[in-house]
Chain A
Amino acid sequence: MDWDRRAMLGAAAAGVLAHPAWAQRSGTTARQRTINAMMTDEPAHLNYPLFNTRIMQEICGNINESLLQVDWQFKPQPNLARDFEMSPDGMRYTFHLRPDVTWHDGMPFTARDVAFSCGVMLPQLNPRSRGAFSHIREIKAVDRYTVRFEMKEPFNAFLLSLVASSAPMMPAHIYEGTDFRTNPYNFKPVGTGPFKFNRWARGQFIHLTRNARYWQPGRPGMDGIYYRVCPTPEQRLVAMESGAVDLAMADDIDTVVNLRMVANPSIVARADAFNGTGEISVMEMNQRRWPFNDRRFRAAFMHAIDREFLVKAINFGLGKVAHSPIPSDLPYYDDKAVTKYHHDPARARALLDEMGLKPGKGGVRHRFSIMMIPDGGGTWTRGVHYIKQALSEVGLEVKLESTDWPTFSRRSGNWEFDVDCNSYGQYGDPAIGTSRFFLTSNIRKGVPQTNLQGYSNPEVDALFAKAAVAVEPAEAQRHYSRLQQVLTHDVAMVWLYERKPMFFYNKRLKNVIMGPNGPADGFGAVTLA
């Protein structure tokens, strides 16, 4: 075994880029106080609630702030809201806003903005907010800086749903009464954050400058941020290693060169920057079609795949095998409740025989297709190629279908697939991140990131409903444990591994990662090391 490890590290070290002659020229002083970040491709617009991808979180996290933030223990902390109280029965929440906060265009930040954001804009645009805020009966702006939320029923994940990318505060005086999709400010967003939008050169870069009137004293530590378009993974690798760029996150760098980046002395590598999202890489089965609707087939599918090897070899050590819909480092995870599916091809074959799927011509028991994520041959593609190989060893022949993003979202939304690959973030609480994929109520044709599998289990619906409204954490934990037991026994979804995306930054900067939401909290705290 040592041969493999030595070979891996040897390869990584050998490949370290001798500091190239052509990179010296990029280190002028004026640039030192600017953060250089990059984007794989340009977002369609900068309306944070409307389009919630990772690159949007990194950019708009600096512009639009949320009422609360979470600390490393996922406890809500004050942000735009100075302090907050929850009534004992969990039916009323009152937030006292900071009086000294102004929007980038000089207008004051008041309770009216909060009422508009949480009452109108977020539920309409952001699928996650829509679920969480459906529990609100009424929002009242008690005075200029106090907001009271009356709930229909207790909702213990309510505070977490007001954190970072789940609920960015939007300026009412700009968006109220307009069509959120075509509002011109989607291309020059206004927020309260440490950095203001300055310029967007299409196809080249987005430039944010420091917000001189930012409410947190001494912040932001830097003069501005450049997000430059950097289309290919190897170009991003070179940009990071040559110092032309300071930050690189998750999918920017191909896992293949992960060890090389970790070994690079001038780069800090953090694996905990995205714990807040708690992303799990999964495969969704269209349970409207035989044999995917049969639990034994799904169990055989899980047993056929060696997920340890998938994480260690295919992902070069990134991530952790997922045994539950809830990430292991999140509060409600219950290791005892879950049914675990270890790599056991013999068990898989037995299950398939039990189902009557005997090996036919050429040892093939059943043929089906897997729709791939269009990642240009990166980590996802390699993963699904391994899975295809693993499944073929138990007689399941897979036809891979490559797609582009438009086709992927159209076919997944309209349930036109046997099995597809995907990854979902929990965002701190199962009620926000997990339930949407298993609730019968969330089976909505044409809309991606919903219960695409068509999984429907009355007990699961009831449990999720009860858990969300349980005031006592212990009661919620009991429901979630039962849920994990049912879902994992039922193999409601093929959970592959908990993604531990890496976040790399140049060691010339510090205070880059301040909490589990990482970049989504903005780079206000960043200063020169």
Chain B
Amino acid sequence: MRDFLRVFFSRPISLIGLVIFAAIVVIALLAPFLFVRGPFTIVGMPLLPPGAPGLLAGSDVLGRDMVVGLAYGARISLLVGITSTLCALGIGMLLGAVAGYYGGWLDDLLMRVTEFFQIIPSFVLLMVLVAFLQPSLSSTVIGIALVTWPQVARVVRGEFLSLRSREFVQAARTLGMGDARIIVTQILPNALPPIIVVSSMMVGSAILTESALSFLGLGDPNLLSWGSMIGGSRSAMWVAWWTTVLPGVAIMLTVLALNFIGDGLNDALNPRRRR
């Protein structure tokens, strides 16, 4: 574990990533305490530039305080990003593990399904799913999870396939270990690093996907997310740049931080560097 931390923090970008991401999470969690007003409260005239009295980042098309909007927007993005990735992980790991370990027809079936998802333009499928389930937070999360679990399944299957033939797994089998115990104690701990890396990347892309959906008006109308802030300011952009630029920067910073962390994890967990 000490070794993991040394390698992880030896690269500057992983540290920067962690700091940014932590800051965003803290802001999201403490939003109700940091700001007395809610994200929807109208505080003044619309489209006031940043620096107007009492408005650090200016007001949006409805006269709401952009800073409060950005803080509460972080909650939606993080919530959707993390929950959809967890769901995708759940499905993906289960199917990937079973297919990778037992192989046979189940493996073929899983490969056909993941291939199928590679062929279909996933974003169009996601739009259809969300539009028909009536746009809401849960339909967004379900949609993203359904469209991204094949990524995880492919990685987990690959890992299980290669680890299954490793000698220490064969040894475990000769020692009389049952399949379940082998999967949990022998294979999974060694398969975790690539899964952790892929999931950190997936949280990032889930945030991007959610913002795209809200931008197209397919997000939850009752919630203020970064994507809906940009979507709502497509015309306002021509007269008030900050209504579009600031939420975009917020999304970019969060996903960039996650990618930095993912990159750092990739190095730190990479066995080759360890030996």
CA separation between A372 and B217, bound complex, in Å? Answer: 12
Q: Counting CB contacts under 8 A, is A71 at the interface?
A: no
CB-nearest residue of chain B to A14: B239
Instruction: Tell me, rounded to whole Å, the shortest Cβ–Cβ distance linking B62 to chain A.
Output: 5
Q: Counting CB contacts under 8 A, is A388 at the interface?
A: yes
Determine the chain B residues whose CB is within 8 A of the CB of A138 once the complex forms: none
Assess the B239–A15 pair: CB atoms within 8 A.
yes
CB-nearest residue of chain B to A403: B134
Instruction: Tell me, rounded to whole Å, the shortest Cβ–Cβ distance linking B55 to chain A.
Output: 10
Q: A7-B47, A7-B48, A313-B45 are in contact. Are A402 and B239 (CB under 8 A)?
A: no
CB-nearest residue of chain A to B239: A15
Q: Counting CB contacts under 8 A, is B166 at the interface?
A: no
Determine the chain B residues whose CB is within 8 A of the CB of A313 once the complex forms: 42, 45-46, 63
Assess the B49–A234 pair: CB atoms within 8 A.
no
Assess the A385–B40 pair: CB atoms within 8 A.
yes
Assess the B217–A377 pair: CB atoms within 8 A.
yes
Determine the chain B residues whose CB is within 8 A of the CB of A382 once the complex forms: 61-62, 232
Assess the B47–A256 pair: CB atoms within 8 A.
yes
CA separation between A497 and B52, bound complex, in Å? Answer: 29
Assess the B52–A372 pair: CB atoms within 8 A.
no
Q: Counting CB contacts under 8 A, is B32 at the interface?
A: no
The interface on chain A, measured as residues whose beta carbon lies within 8 A of the other chain's beta carbons, has a size of 41
Q: Counting CB contacts under 8 A, is A12 at the interface?
A: yes
Determine the chain A residues whose CB is within 8 A of the CB of B155 once the complex forms: none
Q: Counting CB contacts under 8 A, is A35 at the interface?
A: no
Instruction: Tell me, rounded to whole Å, the shortest Cβ–Cβ distance linking B83 to chain A.
Output: 21
The interface on chain B, measured as residues whose beta carbon lies within 8 A of the other chain's beta carbons, has a size of 30
Assess the B239–A233 pair: CB atoms within 8 A.
no
Contacting A at CB under 8 A, from B134-190, are: 134-135
CB-nearest residue of chain B to A402: B221
Checking A3, A11, A386, A400 against B222 with a beta-carbon cut-off of 8 angstroms, the contacting residue is: A400
Q: Counting CB contacts under 8 A, is B105 at the interface?
A: no
Assess the B52–A385 pair: CB atoms within 8 A.
no
Instruction: Tell me, rounded to whole Å, the shortest Cβ–Cβ distance linking B119 to chain A.
Output: 27
Q: Counting CB contacts under 8 A, is B271 at the interface?
A: no
Assess the B131–A401 pair: CB atoms within 8 A.
no
Assess the A388–B40 pair: CB atoms within 8 A.
yes
Contacting A at CB under 8 A, from B193-246, are: 217, 221-222, 228, 231-232, 234-240
Interface string of B49-61 (1 = CB under 8 A from A): 1001100000001
Q: Counting CB contacts under 8 A, is B44 at the interface?
A: yes
Checking B44, B131, B228, B239 against A256 with a beta-carbon cut-off of 8 angstroms, the contacting residue is: B239
Q: Counting CB contacts under 8 A, is A4 at the interface?
A: yes
Q: A385-B40, A402-B221 are in contact. Are A260 and B238 (CB under 8 A)?
A: yes
CB-nearest residue of chain A to B45: A4
Checking B49, B217, B221 against A376 with a beta-carbon cut-off of 8 angstroms, the contacting residue is: B217
Q: Counting CB contacts under 8 A, is A239 at the interface?
A: no
Q: Counting CB contacts under 8 A, is B41 at the interface?
A: yes
Determine the chain A residues whose CB is within 8 A of the CB of B221 once the complex forms: 372, 381, 400-402
Assess the A314–B235 pair: CB atoms within 8 A.
no
Assess the B222–A399 pair: CB atoms within 8 A.
yes
Determine the chain B residues whose CB is within 8 A of the CB of A385 once the complex forms: 40, 62
Assess the A257–B135 pair: CB atoms within 8 A.
no
Assess the B49–A12 pair: CB atoms within 8 A.
no
Instruction: Tell me, rounded to whole Å, the shortest Cβ–Cβ distance linking A18 to chain B.
Output: 12
Checking B44, B46, B52, B222 against A314 with a beta-carbon cut-off of 8 angstroms, the contacting residue is: B46
CA separation between A7 and B49, bound complex, in Å? Answer: 7
Instruction: Tell me, rounded to whole Å, the shortest Cβ–Cβ distance linking A29 to chain B.
Output: 30
Assess the B40–A256 pair: CB atoms within 8 A.
no
CA separation between A392 and B41, bound complex, in Å? Answer: 10
- Having A3-B53, A7-B49, one finds 12 other A-B pairs with CB under 8 Å, namely A7-B45, A7-B52, A11-B239, A232-B234, A234-B235, A234-B237, A253-B235, A254-B236, A256-B46, A377-B232, A388-B40, A401-B221
- The 5 A-B pairs of least Cβ separation, nearest first, read A254-B235, A15-B239, A4-B45, A400-B221, A402-B221
Footprint of A on B, CB under 8 Å?
40-42, 44-49, 52-53, 61-63, 131, 134-135, 217, 221-222, 228, 231-232, 234-240
